[in-house]
């Protein structure tokens, strides 16, 4: 891994840590987004990130259920390979949709619990409900636009060099 790639991996670790994940989760995911080959064993990842296999294993258990990491095996090879699969961001947004839906339901419980309170006291909760409902409603449209736009346009890695350098 180059110095710049290492800086990216560290920055991803710091970024996800600010949102409640471990720095290792961000580092692992960042590494899998740029590594070559795209599928790596836990041992290879541990070596690249200067981490223990236990740290990698625990982090995989955190990232796999949310769709950031895929496990696979190769015929005749007992090792498990990890990758950041295509569609990671679609899975991420899909998970975000479920989070917003659950949050909306909790906020609706709050609205029901405060139904007898004066409107000024409910204003913050109502604003939260409006915002969360809007995001929940719009997320599928944004995701559909991204996926359909991506399927019709060449990605930077597949576009001819002159287009990438323009």
Which secondary-structure segment (H or E) carries 10? helix 3-18
Q: Average pLDDT by consecutive 10-residue portion of the chain (166 residues)?
A: 94 93 95 94 96 95 89 91 84 76 94 94 95 91 81 57 44
Q: What is the pLDDT of residues 29-46, one digit of tens each?
A: 999 999 999 999 999 999
In angstroms, rounded to a whole number, what is the distance separating the alpha carbons of residues 159 and 95? 30
Q: What is the pLDDT of residues 140-165, one digit of tens each?
A: 888 888 878 877 765 555 444 444 44
In angstroms, rounded to a whole number, what is the distance separating the alpha carbons of residues 90 and 88? 5
Strands, E assignment, 13-154: 40-41, 70-73, 80-83
Q: Please give the model's pTM, rounded to 2 decimal places.
A: 0.68
In angstroms, rounded to a whole number, what is the distance separating the alpha carbons of residues 153 and 126? 40
In angstroms, rounded to a whole number, what is the distance separating the alpha carbons of residues 129 and 39? 41
Which domains does the chain carry?
3-83 (1.10.10.10), 88-152 (1.10.287)
């Amino acid at each position: 891994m180059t110095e710049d790639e290492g800086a990216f991996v560290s920055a991803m670790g710091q970024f996800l840590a600010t949102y409640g994940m471990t720095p290792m989760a961000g580092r692992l995911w960042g590494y899998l987004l740029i590594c070559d080959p795209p599928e790596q064993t836990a041992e290879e990842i541990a070596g690249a990130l200067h981490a223990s296999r236990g740290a990698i294993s625990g982090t995989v258990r955190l990232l796999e259920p949310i769709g950031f990491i895929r496990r696979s095996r190769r015929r005749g090879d007992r090792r498990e390979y990890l990758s950041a699969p295509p569609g990671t961001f679609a899975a991420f947004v899909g998970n975000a949709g479920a989070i917003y839906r659950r949050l909306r339901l909790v906020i609706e419980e709050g609205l029901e619990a405060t139904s007898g309170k004066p409107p000024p006291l409910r204003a913050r909760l109502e604003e939260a409900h409006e915002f969360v409902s809007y995001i929940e409603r719009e997320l599928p449209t944004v995701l559909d636009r991204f996926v359909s736009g991506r399927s019709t346009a060449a990605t930077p890695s597949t576009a001819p060099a002159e287009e990438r350098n323009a």
